[in-house]
Amino acid sequence: MDVKRVKDYIYWLYYQYLLVTCSYVLEPWEQSMFHTITVTVLAMVVYTAYVFVPIHVRLALEFFAQIFGAQPEAA
């Protein structure tokens, strides 16, 4: 892929984002506030998933290991 096609694809994705969120009808200052809030919420979701999902997966695996008869680890 050449640089122009990648650049056009990124612009197309951004345009699709504007259409889906209906933020293309907002004024520029409203768009910047909307994008800031959206990025902040997305960052918090990613951080929360990064921190808490592995803990819950480990606990679920330990729970199911106890149910299906695996030997507990020696402390």
Predicted confidence (pLDDT) at residue 70 exceeds the cutoff of 70: no
How far is residue 71's CA from residue 65's CA, in Å, rounded to a whole number?
Answer: 8
Domain of residue 34 covers 3-69
Residue at 52 is within a domain: yes
What single-letter DSSP state applies at residue 68? Answer: T
Residue 7 lies inside a defined structural domain of this protein: yes
CB atoms under 10 Å from CB of 17, counted, come to 13
Tens-place pLDDT, residues 13-51: 999 999 999 998 999 999 999 999 999 999 999 999 999
pTM recorded for the entire structure: 0.65
Total structural domains in the chain? 1
Residue appearing with tokens 């729970």: 63
Condensed to tens digits (0 to 9), the pLDDT of residues 47-65 reads 999 999 999 999 999 999 8
Whether residue 50 is contained in a domain is answered as yes
